[in-house]
């Protein structure tokens, strides 16, 4: 019975002509988000040290603008990418687990109903 459901499900998916998920692209975007986060923190620290190492106000503003603000933008973008793809990965895992639990529960209910039917039918 379970094999018939799996076969039917596989045939229905084949008829939809869907493209598969690009797990390699998601993995690279997750890594890119982590690297952007680390690079942004490093750039912000570097810009802060450069700004504190000079006494000229114009140079301090330039170092803060190029180092710290760009670093902050990288931190925000990297954190957003990292969180988005981490949550997507977790939600996919959770959904597969939920579907599996529901299918196994359905199989248990069907077998219990068949058992009741055979007892009542006798």
pLDDT of residue 56: 85
Concatenating the DSSP letter of every residue in 36-50 gives HHHHHHHHHHHHHHH
Place of tokens 């997507």: 88
Q: What percent of the chain has pLDDT over 90?
A: 30
pLDDT of residue 79: 93
Residue 82, Cβ neighbours under 10 Å: how many?
Answer: 19
pLDDT: is 93 or 9 the higher one? Answer: 93
Residues 6+ apart with CB under 8 A from 40: 70, 71, 72, 73, 74, 75, 76, 77, 78
Tens-place pLDDT, residues 38-83: 999 998 888 888 888 888 888 888 888 888 888 899 999 999 999 9
**Mean pLDDT of the region 87-100:** 88
Q: How far are the Cα atoms of 36, 56, 80, 112, 116 from residue 84, in angstroms, in the given order?
A: 14, 41, 6, 42, 47
**Mean pLDDT of the region 104-110:** 91
Give the start-to-end residue ranges of the domains of the chain. 26-121
Please tell me what DSSP assigns to residue 68.
Answer: I
Tokens standing for residue 11? 């045939």
């Amino acid at each position: 019975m379970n094999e018939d459901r799996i076969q039917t499900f596989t045939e229905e998916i084949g008829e939809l002509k869907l493209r598969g998920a690009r797990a390699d692209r998601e993995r690279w975007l997750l890594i890119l988000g982590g690297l952007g986060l680390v690079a942004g923190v490093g750039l912000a620290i570097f810009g802060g040290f450069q700004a504190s190492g000079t006494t000229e106000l114009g140079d301090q503003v330039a170092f803060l603008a190029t180092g710290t603000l760009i670093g902050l933008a990288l931190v925000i973008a990297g954190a957003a990418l990292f969180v988005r793809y981490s949550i997507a990965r977790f939600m996919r895992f959770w959904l597969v687990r939920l579907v599996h639990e529901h299918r196994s529960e359905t199989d248990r209910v069907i077998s219990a109903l068949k058992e009741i039917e055979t007892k009542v039918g006798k």
